[in-house]
Amino acid sequence: MHSLRLFSSRLEPAALFLGVVFFTFSMTPSLLPRAWYLQGVASGISIATGYGVGCAVVWLVHRCGIRPRWSDATKRYGGWGLAVFTAIVVPLFLILGSWWQQIVRQLVEVDVEGPGRILYLAVLLVAVVVAVLLLLAARGLRWCARRLAVLCTRFVPIPAAKAIGIAVVTILTLFVVNGAVNNVLIATIASSSKLADEGSHPGVEQPDAMEKSGSPDSYEDWNSLGMEGRRFVASGPTAEQIESFTGADALTPIRAYVGAAEADSIDEAADRVVAELERTGAFDRAVVAVATTTGRGWVNEAVAGSFEYMNGGDTAIASMQYSFLPSPIAFLADRDSPREAGRALFDKVYDAILERPEGTRPELVAFGESLGAYGGQDAFGGARDMVARTDGALWVGNPNFTKQWAETTADRDAGSREILPVISDGRYVRFAGRPSDLDIGTPWAEPRVVYWQHASDPITWWSPDLLLHQPDWLREPRGVDVDPGVRWFPFVTFWQTTFDMVFSTDVPPGYGHNYGEDAVDLWAEILQPEGWTSQDTERLREIIAG
C-alpha cells in the first residue's frame, strides 16, 4: 500500500489529465472491430503516450523558467477536479466505445451482437495494467540514465554526464530490443516456421496432372513446395469444371510453383519456375500470369481461380515461395525478399516470352496480394512500365509502403480521393474498393491495371506517419465500409490501425484485408474476354464464393 501511494504521489497531474484524454481518443472507432483485449492494450498504450506527452510539455514549461507556485488548496481542488473528470469521461467513453464498435461490426457484417458491453469494464482493467507497466519501464530507464550520469560526473561536467547517461541507455535499449527481436525472436520464428512448412493443409493431396508442379511428371518434388505451395498446385478448377461452366472444351490450367526448401537463392527458384513453365508447355497457352506470393508462399485462390475459369483453362500461373516467415512477421522484418522475388520471377518469365517469335507469344499479366502486391510491383519502374510490359495487372491489398502504389496514388488527379485515386482520367490505371468503382465515366484503354483496396483495409492504410501526420484518407469523405465518425488523433490513430491489422482477415470478403469473389468482376474488366457477359460474371462469382 505504501508503494502504491508513493507511486501515485509521483504522478504529474497535468500529464494524467492528458493520459485520460488520450484514453477517450482510443475508444473512438477505427477501420475494423477490435476484440476487447486488443482495445484494452491500445487504450493502455494511448494512456501511457498521453501521459508521456504531458510530462514532456511540463518539462518544457519548466525549462522555460515557468514554475507556478500552487497553494495546497489549489492543488487539492485540482486533484478533485481531475478525479471528477476521470469518473465522468471514462465510463462515458467505455459505453460510447462499445456502441461505436457495434456500428463498425454492422458496417463490415461481423458478429452484429458483439462481445457485450460488460466486457468493456475489462477494457479499462487491461488499459490501466498496460499503462502502468509502460510507465514503470520508462521510469526504470530514466533511473538507469540518472545513475549512469552520476557516475560520469566524476570525469566530466554535469551537462555532459547527463547527455552521456541518456545516450548510453538509449543505445543499449535499442541494441537489446533489436537483438532480441531481430536476432533471437525472428530467428526462432523462422526456424519453427520452416518446420511447420513441411506439413500440409487438411485434404491437400499430390496432383496427378502433368500441368501441376509437384506431380509425378514435375521437376519439383511434391514435398519441396511448402505448405502453401502444395495447397496452391492441388487447388484450382479442373478442365471438367471449367467445361461445365463455359459449355466449351477447356484445358487443365497450368500451375508452376517452386518452394524455398531446395532452391539456393531466389534467382535459382525463378529459373526453376521457368523450367516448369517450359516443361508444361505454358508458353503455348493464351495467357501467362506471374503471381508474387505473400511471406510463406500463399496465393489468393479467388484471384487465381477466377482468372483460370475466365480464360477457359488456357492459362499458366507462375509463382514461387521466397520465405518461411508468416506474412505478419515478414511484413515487419523482411521487406527485401518480396521485392527480389517479384523482380526475379517477372523478369525471367518476361525474357522467356520475348525469346519466342512474335505472333506466338502468350499474353502476360501480373498479380499479387499484400506482400505479393508489394514485391510484384518492384519488377516495374512505375505505372507506365507496367502498362508497357504487361497485358494487364491486378494488385490487391497493397501495403502502404509499396513504392509504386504510393507514387501512383500521390500523382492522382486533383479532386480524387486517396482511397479511390483517379490517374490521368483513368486511361490505363484504376482503383477500386468495389467493382462499380471502376466505372468513372471516361474511356479505359488497354492494357488495364487495377489496384484493388478496401477503404477498411488497415494493411493499406497503416503507416508510421499516422503518429504525427493526418493522412488524406482521414481528411476526405470515408469509404462506404468505414464509419464516418472515424477521426485522426496524434499517436492514437497509429495504435488503433496497428491493432486493426491483427484480425484484418477475420471479416467477410469485401471488407478489411479479405479479398474474395469481387476478383471475378475485376478480371473481367482487365481481360475483356470475348463474349463475356454480366450473367457469366454472376455465375462465376457464385462458384468462387463457394
Phi, psi for 10 (deg, rounded to 5): -90, 0
Q: How far, CA to CA in Å, does 73 sit from each of 10, 58, 80?
A: 18, 21, 11
Residue whose C-alpha cell reads 464464393 in the numeric block: 545
Distance CA(106)–CA(114), nearest Å, equals 10
Contact 28, 100 (CB under 8 A): yes
Residue whose C-alpha cell reads 512448412 in the numeric block: 197
Other beta carbons within 10 Å of 212: 27
What is the phi-psi region of residue 489: left when phi exceeds 0, alpha when psi lies from -120 to 50, beta otherwise?
Answer: beta
Amino acid at 333: A
Amino acid at 513: H
For residues 314-344, one letter each, b for 16 or more C-beta atoms within 10 angstroms of the residue's C-beta and e for the rest, the string is: bbbbbbbbbbbbbbbbbbebbeebbbbbbbb
Q: Which of 418, 397, 403 is nearest to 504 (CA)?
A: 397
Q: At what angle do helices 13-26 and 36-63 cross, to 10 degrees?
A: 150
Distance CA(37)–CA(43), nearest Å, equals 10
Distance CA(542)–CA(546), nearest Å, equals 6
Distance CA(521)–CA(188), nearest Å, equals 42
pTM greater than 0.95 (yes/no):
no
Residue whose C-alpha cell reads 477466377 in the numeric block: 306
Distance CA(436)–CA(430), nearest Å, equals 11
For residue 362, give the 3-state DSSP assignment: coil
DSSP sequence for 427-451: SSEEEESSGGGG--SS---SS-EEE
Counting DSSP H helices and E strands in the chain, the numbers are 20, 7
Residue whose C-alpha cell reads 454492422 in the numeric block: 106
**Chain mean position to CA 520:** 22
Residue-level pLDDT, tens digit, the chain, 546 residues: 555 555 555 778 888 999 999 999 999 999 999 888 999 999 999 999 999 999 888 888 877 877 777 777 877 877 898 889 999 999 999 999 989 998 999 999 887 555 556 677 889 999 999 999 999 888 888 888 788 778 788 777 877 777 777 777 777 776 766 655 566 666 666 666 666 677 788 989 999 999 999 999 999 999 999 999 999 999 999 999 999 999 999 999 999 999 988 888 999 999 999 999 999 999 999 999 999 999 889 999 999 999 999 999 999 999 999 987 776 777 766 788 899 999 999 999 999 999 999 989 999 999 999 999 999 999 999 999 999 999 999 999 999 999 999 999 999 999 999 999 999 999 999 999 999 999 999 999 999 999 999 999 999 999 999 999 999 999 999 999 999 999 999 999 999 999 999 999 999 999 999 999 999 999 999 999 999 999 999 999 999 998
